[in-house]
Amino acid sequence: MDIKVVTGNIVEQKTDAIIVNLFEGVDKPAGATGAVDKALGGLITRLIASGEIKGKSKESTLIHTQGRMVPERVLVMGLGKQKDLKLDTIRSVAAEACHCLKQIGVKTAATIVHGAGVGGIDPEPAAGAIAEGSLLGLYEYRQFMTTPPDRTDPTELLIVERAADRQEALERGAKRGVISAGATKLARDMGNEPSNIKTPARLAEMAMEIARSCGLEATVFDKKQMTEMGMGCLLGVAQGSAQEPRLIVLTYRGDPARKDTLGLVGKGITFDTGGISIKPDDGMREMKTDMAGGAVVIAVMKALAQLKPGINVTGIVPAVENMPDGAALKPGDVIRAMNGKTVEVISTDAEGRLILADAILYGKKLGLAPIIDIATLTGGMRITLGDVCTGAFTNDQQLVTELIAAGEQAGEYIWQFPMFEEYKEDLKSEVADVANHGGRGAGSIKAAHFLAEFVESTPWVHLDIASTARSEKDKSYIQKGATGVSVRTLVNFVLARAARNGK
């Protein structure tokens, strides 16, 4: 669907439908909704009085204009209580509106800028939220469907604003929203792709294709090269699979004059059986999404190449399959990381932290700082936070505070966990420098402490997206399956950092 910003009167748009809104508790609409109400002879006011329209959040009411306006249909969307309005409300309303219009076969539509009037939301981010919500709300993964969809998406959405002096800001916001949504959809596609196709080599090929198309620097290391670098943790996980591992490195140089470079590291387990510590059959098919962190990093790098902020960023994705053949790691084995530190393998199902350790060490070798890693790391995160929040762990409070704010702007909530030293006690090993698993209690925190052993003093945040990388049901602009969570958070974070540097 194409999204465009135009200046004009919403009532006069030559589209199949227009979208207006209403706050809960409003008796008589004003602004653009009031203009539509007037054109319809007060019909919206009468529907409010009858109780058919209440303005509750995401409530939708379809009105046929019967020739009284150029558009044939008006969709009135509820915004909820004005005091509760936020950017994510706008995203959700845009998604629900597009769902409704798709179901009735609408091809072209126009919308007012939700929240940019009495709602008090700045027009630029409001336009971005409309673009994100609309495009993400229409997302479907149909790569292997041989039958056509029952309904096709609308082809065009116009964001209409009467004030011409706002058009430039709205266009900036809409462009950013389109790019962020596109990157999120890319991460969803990668997460939903079956693992018989999405091997480590295929993931690397996808990253290289994106790099070539967007002008990113790209390097892919193979097994031989990783062996020469001493990446024993990453290679240990890979040794049980017939699919050889890859280490993907993408770099965006938005400010070549600066030497400092932000590092993003994403877990890329293209399928996780648990290895010798094999997972139960129930839900194992979802492990095709165990590379969600890697997908996020690749997608964010593509978005940055399109948005062109003045900042340097390198993304690293260790891509591996975790399989249980005769050569696989065994509980009790000892392996050696890139920096020489030895690790006792307590559970082969705690493999993500092993590949991240070597990837983080490689990032440190490149001089990346700060480093943010993103991983579907621990099943305990879903028990702790459900599918509402991503967990965050850090050695730098300012850094995680910035990420939490970026997540709130994206509607992707982040909750910070403690990193008390006492949790490290359970990672002690009798035969190696550190164990890769410390028992079920506080497992997510202990996993973060394992990573901290390799991060050391580098400013760092670990995002555990195990609870948010997949959704079990459709909800607003999130569909069942891979969510692409953290793509928009990290795009917001990088852009805010670049803006802080005047870039």
The DSSP secondary structure of 388-438, one letter per residue, reads TEEEEEES-HHHHHHHHHHHHHHT-EEEEPP--GGGGGGG--SSSSEES--
Helix (H, G, I), strand (E, B) or coil at 23: coil
For residue 285, the model assigns a pLDDT of 95
Tell me which of 279, 341, 382, 503 is the catalytic residue: 279
Is residue 353 annotated as a catalytic residue, yes or no? yes
Q: What tokens were used for 121? A: 């939301």
Tell me which of 176, 267, 353, 470 is the catalytic residue: 353
DSSP H helices in 239-341: 292-307
Residue bearing tokens 């709300």: 137
Helix (H, G, I), strand (E, B) or coil at 106: coil
195 Cβ contact list (under 8 Å, min separation 6): 270, 271, 287, 288, 321
CA atoms of 369 and 261, how far apart (whole Å): 6
Per-position pLDDT tens, the chain of length 503? 999 999 999 999 999 999 999 999 999 999 999 999 999 999 999 999 999 999 999 899 999 999 999 999 999 999 999 999 999 999 999 999 999 999 999 999 999 999 998 889 999 999 999 999 999 999 999 999 999 999 999 999 999 999 999 999 999 999 999 999 999 999 999 999 999 999 999 999 999 999 999 999 999 999 999 999 999 999 999 999 999 999 999 999 999 999 999 999 999 999 999 999 999 999 899 999 999 999 999 999 999 999 999 999 999 999 999 999 999 999 999 999 999 999 999 999 999 999 999 999 999 999 999 999 999 999 999 999 999 999 999 999 999 999 999 999 999 999 999 999 999 999 999 999 999 999 999 999 999 999 999 999 999 999 999 999 999 999 999 999 999 999 999 999 999 999 998 77
pTM for the full predicted model: 0.97
Angle between helices 200-214 and 292-307 (to 10 degrees): 10
For residue 317, the model assigns a pLDDT of 99
Contact present, 483 and 127 (Cβ < 8 Å) = no
Rg over alpha carbons for the chain, rounded to the nearest Å, is 24
Angle between helices 87-103 and 123-137 (to 10 degrees): 40
* Amino acid at position 94, single letter: A
418 Cβ contact list (under 8 Å, min separation 6): 445
* Strand 73-78 versus strand 60-64 pairing type: antiparallel
For residue 251, the model assigns a pLDDT of 98
Query: Which residues of 90-245 form beta strands (DSSP E)?
Result: 108-112, 156-161, 217-221
For residue 503, the model assigns a pLDDT of 74
Is residue 279 annotated as a catalytic residue, yes or no? yes
CA atoms of 384 and 87, how far apart (whole Å): 26
Beta bridge partners, 17, equal: 73, 109
User: What element of type H or E holds 481?
Assistant: strand 481-482
411 Cβ contact list (under 8 Å, min separation 6): 87, 88, 91, 488
Residue bearing tokens 């653009």: 32
Contact present, 277 and 258 (Cβ < 8 Å) = no
For residue 501, the model assigns a pLDDT of 83
CA-nearest of 15, 26, 33, 86 to 56 is 26
- Please report the domains of the chain, with CATH numbers, ordered by start residue: 2-180 (3.40.220.10), 216-500 (3.40.630.10)
Beta bridge partners, 264, equal: 315, 372
46 Cβ contact list (under 8 Å, min separation 6): none
